[in-house]
Amino acid sequence: MDEMDHEVRKKTISKQFFLLVFILLIFFIGMISLLCSPTFSVSRIQVTGNVYMSQDEVIRIAGLPDRVNIFRLTTNEIQTKLCKDLRIEQAIVQRSFPSTIKIQIIERKPIASVPCEYGFLEVDKNGMVLAVHKTITDMQVPIITGVVLHDLYIGDSVLDSTCLNVLAYLAQLDETSVNQISEVHIAAPDQIVAYTRNSVQIRLGSTDRLSDKAKATQDFIQNMQSMKQPIEYIDFNFTAPFIKFKK
């Protein structure tokens, strides 16, 4: 009886073993079929979030091979490649079956220009240097004056605390408002003045209450056009802003 039970167990184990081998074989054949199937060859790359960079440029930086199988791509590696480019702050890469790769990026965008010993540095909201120009011919972003930065190149970060505070102030303005600012002058850490494109002074004073001052600046710029009398300056040194009209 024991010998019969032993034989039955051997046959059962053998059947289970062969079944497992068969399942694994089917699995591997299926995987190979997927990896080689033209159905899953990447035929479309969708890029979103790019404003300053072209779609072709983003795809080139991602380094995607032509007609590669979608399963062979490692999305984390592509994201790492993209984020190595200074112009890209964040990247998300996703597969969309059967044959689409979706790339979503957040670009670092210039928010101000700052003078340096060899020209002007174009910096983002965090103070990272994105570009260097010998001269400014077409001023698209506000210029920060009163400081001259030294020994900074593309990829470096601004360390001047007052300058960083001014960048934080500009970053809190909406796009419409920041486009109306032509210059922010730092006479001293507690004597900061912004100028609108029609030469109205916005006296910010020190770098305290920056969020409040940014909100007040935004409201002032939005309402400025509706004011009938020309404005000389608005002073945010006080809790209640003071407006001086031109005579």
* Helix/strand/coil for 127: coil
Q: Which of 107, 141, 160 is the last residue of a domain?
A: 107
Position 236 in a domain: yes
Residue 233's domain spans which residues? 112-245
Position 9 in a domain: no
Pairwise CA distance, residues 35 & 69, whole Å: 6
Among 15-19, 35-39, 187-191, 217-221, the minimum mean pLDDT is found in: 35-39
Same domain, 97 and 124: no
Same domain, 57 and 160: no
Handedness of CA 79, 107, 217, 161 (dihedral sign): positive
Same domain, 126 and 224: yes
Which residue carries 């994105």 as its tokens?
130
Q: Which residues contact 72 (CB under 8 A, 6 or more apart)?
A: 35
Same domain, 97 and 120: no
Same domain, 167 and 137: yes
Same domain, 143 and 229: yes
User: pLDDT: is 66 or 218 the higher one?
Assistant: 218
Same domain, 178 and 218: yes
Residues 195-218 pLDDT 10s: 999 999 999 999 999 999 999 999
Same domain, 163 and 48: no
**CA 12 vs CA 7, 15, 26: distances in Å:** 9, 5, 21
Q: Which of 88, 107, 126 is the last residue of a domain?
A: 107
Residues 52-61 pLDDT 10s: 889 999 999 9
**CA 33 vs CA 27, 42, 52, 73: distances in Å:** 10, 15, 40, 16
State how many domains the chain has: 2
pTM of the prediction? 0.75
Q: Which of 107, 130, 161 is the last residue of a domain?
A: 107
Same domain, 71 and 177: no
Which domain CATH number covers 76?
A: 3.10.20.310
Position 182 in a domain: yes
Note the pLDDT of residue 97. Answer: 86
Which domain CATH number covers 136?
A: 3.40.50.10960
Same domain, 121 and 222: yes
Position 24 in a domain: no
